[in-house]
Amino acid sequence: MDRKHILIVDDDVNMLKMLRMFLQEDYKVSIVDSGKLALDFVVKFTPDLILLDYMMPLFDGPHVMEILRKREETKKVPILFLTSVTDRDKIIQCLALNPQGYIIKPVSREDLLARVAEVLAKYD
């Protein structure tokens, strides 16, 4: 059976490494450290799920998600925001974009695997 492909987008290299370590046993994992690179990546490879950091320079998570939703090949790819943003207004603004979820960092390996499996099961 083919393993599901997850794209992790985060400008924190240490976070990218940790999340990849959490997921690589069960999934094919690709990592990029900017919203721009994420948009370039999905043109070539469409992942099964995107873990998207909320706050990044230039192209932040919400901006990247808006662009992905406008593209035919990526408009149905599930997106989970993964962020340290806890500001209520920002969370409401983020949820208005209708992501498949919102995970607050730091996240445990068990919680991350559970949320990823839950979203992938719904969108399989």
- Taking residues 4-30, what's their average pLDDT? 97
What pLDDT band is residue 1 in, cutting at 50, 70 and 90?
low
- CATH class entry, domain 5-122: alpha beta
- Taking residues 85-99, what's their average pLDDT? 85
What pLDDT band is residue 111 in, cutting at 50, 70 and 90?
very high
pTM over 0.85: yes
- DSSP bridge pairs for 117: none
Q: What percent of the chain has pLDDT over 70?
A: 99
